[in-house]
Amino acid sequence: MALLDTAAPIRWEAQMLMVPLTPDSGVTAAMNPTNLPFPAMNEPLCRVKSVIQHAGIRPPIMNGPMHPRPLVALLDGRDCTVEMPILKDVATVAFCDAQSTQEIHEKVLNEAVGALMYHTITLTREDLEKFKALRIIVRIGSGFDNIDIKSAGDLGIAVCNVPAASVEETADSTMCHILNLYRRTTWLHQALREGTRVQSVEQIREVASGAARIRGETLGIIGLGRVGQAVALRAKTFGFNVIFYDPYLSDGIERALGLQRVSTLQDLLFHSDCVTLHCSLNEHNHHLINDFTIKQMRQGAFLVNTARGGLVDEKALAQALKEGRIRGAALDVHESEPFSFSQGALKDAPNLICTPHAAWYSEQASIEMREEAAREIRRAITGRIPDSLKNCVNKEHLTAATHWASMDPGVVHPELNGAAYSLARTRWAAEYHLSLPRRTASSNWCQIAALH
């Protein structure tokens, strides 16, 4: 079985340049190698083509002098001034300012290969399937619970985040909330704004009722990632005894940081005077703080959440605040955002501080976060997906076809004999090389296949 001659890719490239636009999508047929004209193929090659087509392989990212710059879209924002200097020479950047995929322009749905997004839009599998050419999503921030990362992987879309950009800001905001709860600064300010006259010791005692000393109190941290560790170090300087619960963290870090580790969530809730949440949100910990776990907390404990709103059952929290089982709570994140005091279970809850999911924000952090997100998009366009990506969170979910395509060329596909696999690989190499600038066509055929 003879291999294809080395001149074939060049001839097919000439054919490719004459292929017209696909009428329904606005994407050139060159962006979908499965639409290119093929000479007759034998049965093993047809099987390989079928495997690749049915595995959800997406069009490659075109990048080179023979192709227009790929489209990258900011889905839920308007300002691209930070991203443009990083992407302008490799991509066309657009913004959508959308709150759902129904508000996204058809051109973006059909042609965008990259998407940048904050936390104000949600992408389910149904939403992801609307994007015809999308290869990478970068969440401008650390959390990615608003993206169905498994479905994205099934569709051949890499999902990345920016985990380290706002650690300091979030940790500082968490400590501000903790200090506010203990020293009741917010309520003292509010009393004066409302015209309360505070002069005598009795009046001070009345308006500051509930204020507590920090030194010697126990702070319980659920989730000791980057933010959790930063909070722990800050809390120790204020005199807190710090304990933490994190079943995913390897042993030893507690000794390095001088913390105490507990083995169960129940132990942490029982021993903590203040509980602060710093874990991601997933299907296993939704409503981690609920009526049952609140009853396991110390009577009169504080609760702080700057992680994800879905971690706390707000109805159960409101009831606990009204009954005094929880002395006070501070929430920067909420089950429904944007948050409004006029709606939801918390509208009548006492001793509650709420902020609008802004714990992460500072001007410096925002710029750093956006720059790193843009650099991740650039790595996807100029390199290989997922190998070139720095913070891909769904590698394990990317399609089997993607994995097969990025395997060592010497590995034989289990459904084909060695000769058929070698011929199939060479054939698809030729087709995929049509979509690459000449500098990559001579090296590893897997490069384009890995981009799918």
Q: What is the pLDDT of residues 349-366, one digit of tens each?
A: 999 999 999 999 999 999
Q: Looking at this protein, which amino acid is placed at residue 73? A: A
Instruction: Pick the catalytic residue from 177, 184, 234, 308.
Output: 308
pLDDT, residue 22, reads 36
Query: DSSP secondary-structure letter at 51?
Result: H
- Distance, in Å, from the CA atom of 212 to the CA atom of 234, rounded to the nearest integer, reads 18
In the set 106, 206, 337, 396, the catalytic residue is 337
Q: How confident is the model at residue 402 (pLDDT cuts 50, 70, 90)?
A: low
pLDDT surpasses 70 at 333: yes
Residue 226 pLDDT greater than 70, yes or no = yes
pLDDT in the model for residue 261: 98
Written as one string, the DSSP assignment of 30-88 is: GG-GGGS------HHHHHHHHHHHHTTPPPPPP-STTSPPPEEEETT-S--TTTHHHHT
Task: List, by residue range, all CATH 3.40.50.720 domains of the chain.
Answer: 71-165+364-397, 167-361
Q: Which of 234, 327, 334, 357 is catalytic?
A: 357
Cis amide prior to 386 (ω within 30 degrees): yes
Q: Which of 133, 95, 128 is nearest to 112 (CA)?
A: 133
Element (H, E) at 86: helix 84-87
User: Of 77, 108, 110, 70, nearest to 92 (Cα)?
Assistant: 70
Distance CA 451, CA 434 (A): 14
Q: pLDDT at position 39, please?
A: 41
Determine whether 106 is an active site residue: no
Give the integer Cα–Cα distance in Å for 221 and 244: 5
Q: CA 17 to CA 29: how far, in whole Å?
A: 9
CB 136 within 8 A of CB 71: no
CATH superfamily for 71-165+364-397 is NAD(P)-binding Rossmann-like Domain (3.40.50.720)
Helices (H), 221-262: 226-237, 253-257
Place 165 in a pLDDT band, splitting at 50, 70 and 90: confident
Q: Provide the pairing of β-strand 92-95 with 112-117.
A: unpaired
Rounded percentage of the chain residues whose pLDDT exceeds 70: 73
Query: Is 308 one of the annotated active-site residues of the chain?
Result: yes
CB-based contact 219:235 (threshold 8 Å):
yes
Q: Is 376 known to be catalytic?
A: no
Return the pLDDT at 400: 52
Element (H, E) at 261: strand 260-261
- Cα 273 to Cα 74, 214, 297, 322, distances in angstroms: 42, 10, 8, 18
Choosing among 3.30.70.20, 3.40.1400.10, 3.55.40.20, 3.40.50.720, the CATH entry for 167-361 is: 3.40.50.720
What's the average model confidence in pLDDT over 206-227?
A: 97
Q: Which residues pair with 392 in a beta bridge?
A: 160
pLDDT one-digit tens code per residue, 256-288: 999 999 999 999 999 999 999 999 999 999 999
Rg (CA), the chain: 27
* pLDDT > 50? residue 34: no
pLDDT exceeds 90 at position 414: no
Longest pairwise C-alpha distance within the chain: 99
* pLDDT greater than 80 at residue 307: yes
Q: Are 243 and 260 in contact (CB under 8 A)?
A: yes
Containing H/E element for 328?
A: strand 326-331
Predicted TM-score (pTM) of this structure:
0.76
Look at residues 116, 100, 158, 166 and name the one whose alpha carbon lies nearest to residue 307: 166
Residue type, 290: N
In a 13 Å sphere around the CA of 222, the CA atoms on its Cβ side amount to 28
Question: Which candidate, 210, 218, 362, places its Cα nearest to that of 297?
Answer: 218
Dihedral sign of CA atoms 411, 414, 419, 421 in order: negative
Q: What percent of the chain has pLDDT over 90?
A: 70
Q: Please compute the mean of the pLDDT values over residues 362-386 and round it to a whole number.
A: 96
pLDDT band at 342 (very low <50, low <70, confident <90, very high): confident
Which candidate, 85, 147, 90, places its Cα nearest to that of 116?
147
Confidence of residue 243 (pLDDT cuts 50, 70, 90): very high
pLDDT greater than 90 at residue 53: no
pLDDT 10s digits, 79-100: 999 999 999 999 999 999 999 9
Q: Show the beta-strand stretches assigned E in 65-120.
A: 71-74, 92-95, 112-117
Question: Rounded distance, CA 277 to CA 294, Å?
Answer: 13
Q: Look over the chain and give the mean of its residue pLDDT values, rounded to a whole number.
A: 82
